[in-house]
Amino acid sequence: MPALRTAEHAMPLDEFLDEVVQILSTQPDVEEVLVDRVRFLRFAEREGRTADVLAMLAARGD
């Protein structure tokens, strides 16, 4: 997807890979790999922030 290379909301691939490798290197038994940029999405429901997160994403218009 070439458009993602220039999308301001997309995480650069090299940063993503660096973070994933770091997570797997330090937590080899991890059951779920979450880069920091997705944590606000992953835990929104548990933390009672689902409506706020969805509103923020909708406002971005991506």
Give pLDDT tens digits along the chain (62 positions): 566 666 777 889 999 999 999 999 999 999 999 999 999 999 999 999 999 999 998 998 65
Residue 22 lies in a domain: no
Supply the range of the domain harboring residue 53.
Answer: 32-62
Region of 27 please: left (phi>0), alpha (psi -120 to 50) or beta: beta
Q: What is the Cα–Cα distance from 46 to 52, expressed in whole angstroms?
A: 13
Residue 60 lies in a domain: yes
Question: In the chain, how many domains are there?
Answer: 1
Q: Please tell me whether the overall predicted TM-score, pTM, comes out greater than 0.75 for this model.
A: no
